[in-house]
Amino acid sequence: MRPKASVFPGCVLVMLLVGTVSAQTPAPTVVRWQYGASNSDLLVRNGLETVMLGQDNLAVNITLTVVRVSPSRQVVLQDALVEVINRTDQRVELVPSRITLDLVEPELKLFPYLDPDKLASNLRRMSHEDLMSDNANIEFAEDKTSWASDIERSAFRENTLLPNESISGHVFFAPPEHYAEDYGKGKLRIVLSVPVGDHLFKFPFWWDGNLVGGYGFPLWWKAKK
């Protein structure tokens, strides 16, 4: 005789609820920046490119740069200035830690997101260590302390964007593992993804392999045309 299966009503109910929630969570609308497209634009200021992308009364503007934290330690960060404009009649939730930066060429890697408060704290610690070292450089130490304060003031923070409002701020990423080996091979291609409400805005960038001004790492990112 086959044993009867035990059925627990509570478990069945939980399974049904989970299935219902999953069914009600639609995939985001993916919007990709494309040179020449009607919803995409490009502006150049002081040699830096700002890419602009809009869809369904939402708009995202991106300026992607590179920051060298410490000349002596070659600490390099990616800095994305993100502006979001909400022209809808709905509130939009913004969570900066969900913004991602991916290296897609020569191989797929993730640039880890950096919490701005932790980053500022680390910079102040580095500043203190610089001052305590035998070869103390007061100027470098003061620069780190100043930048730590700038990060806290200008960081892109979690927020609820009301209709007809806009917000901007900086989002920072650490380099992926073995990054020097990647850009040592030449050209790089990356994609910045910004979730805004039920939309996912994607921005492709590239680096042509030229080390500008004696820097030992990619300095200028260009929009992928």
| Residue 218 reports pLDDT greater than 60 | no
Query: So what's the architecture of 26-123+155-223 in CATH?
Result: Sandwich (2.60)
Query: What are the pLDDT digits (tens) for 80-113?
Result: 999 999 999 999 999 999 999 998 888 888 999 9
Output the pTM of the full model.
Answer: 0.78
Instruction: Say if residue 223 is exposed, middle or buried (CB neighbours under 10 Å; 0-12, 13-18, 19+).
Output: buried
In the prediction, which pLDDT does 212 show? Answer: 55
Single-letter residue type at 71: P
Handedness of CA 194, 65, 74, 123 (dihedral sign): negative
Domain boundaries, the chain: 26-123+155-223
